Amino acid sequence: MFVGIDHGTTAMRFAGGGRVYKIPRAEAVSFQLSDLLHLTGGEEIEGFAVTYSMGDNFSVILPIASLTNRGLVSREGAGEHTGGGTRVFDIIKESGIPAIAIPGLHRGSHTDPRFKVYSHQASPEKIGLAYEVVYHLGPTCIVSDISSNTVTLLIKDNHIVGGFDACLFAPGWVHGALDLDAIRAIDAGRMTANDAFLHAGVRDTLQDPDREAALAMFAAMECASLRLLAPDAPVALCGSRAGSVSDEIGRLLGCNLLVLDEWTAAKGLSRIAEDVFSKKVTQILDIPVRL
């Protein structure tokens, strides 16, 4: 079987052989390869597709052993660091089982150069997300992952055109872009930029019942803006908050939506691992594979 690993905001999610398993990030600091017996039932693992943090130090799919600094420019940046993802990455790397690392989308990626006004467009697990959605919707589609973050991508003719990362546009439940109040607080030394990011989602900035309405509106706006580049692209929603806002997003966009769940990225990564190791594909959504 082939296993995909989604390094998510709150948990490490694993998928393979039609099964799924997750470990909260804080608990993953004690991860052992034997923990995956919950997923495999003793079946042999033939290959992994691994994601780690921002994945911003490489732009093609590589063997995990080829990465420098686990594929990162720096561990500093937007997000919470628990050590769980690092532990899983290192255990997989040391396991001897074939493993590929998936890059994030950034200025070194083969996306539309207009999106490169921003340094980062998506973390690596979103490649798995996109691959799974393309399997369901076809080669042109939009996918919005709505959970702690909101990240939205456009795929056109099996090529990732670009997207909006969590700190750019739509807020998630926990994280979001830095507004004027946040910039002033950072400049005044009352908080760090990362602290501001970790509290810029609708959970901390709005009261009920406005939280989910705002989550839906801004996610719909990201989808609508990407439709400027692909007007007929079908739309998929994924992530832990997708189900609660899908009706409102569908109403705002005036179209039917495919709604998937929190396992979508891990399932897509498992599919990538199988296609790379078993079918010997040389590209994934136009991202080169170099084994």
Q: For residue 192, tell me if it sits in a domain.
A: no
Helix (H) or strand (E) holding 38, with range, is: helix 37-40
- How far apart CA 68 and CA 79 sit, in angstroms, is 20
Whether residue 196 lies inside any domain: the answer is: no
pLDDT-based confidence at residue 9 (cuts at 50, 70, 90): confident
> What are the tens digits of pLDDT across the range 23-50?
998 899 999 999 999 899 999 999 999 9
Phi-psi bin for 139: left (phi > 0), alpha (psi -120 to 50), beta?
A: alpha
CA distances from 203 to 11, 134, 207, 212, 281 (A): 19, 31, 7, 9, 42
Give the dihedral sign, CA 170/56/48/140: positive
Q: Does some domain include residue 284?
A: yes
Task: Look at residue 66 and tell me if it is in a domain.
Answer: yes
Q: How much of the chain exceeds pLDDT 90, in percent? A: 92
Domains in the chain: how many in total? 1
As a whole number, the mean pLDDT across the chain is 95
pLDDT (tens digit, 9 = 90+) per residue, 193-224?
Answer: 999 999 999 999 999 989 999 999 999 999 99
What is the phi/psi pair of residue 151, to 5°? -135, 130
The answer as to whether 159 is a domain residue is: yes
CATH number at residue 279: 3.30.420.40
CB 153 within 8 A of CB 160: yes
Nearest to 108 by CA among 155, 54, 53, 157: 54
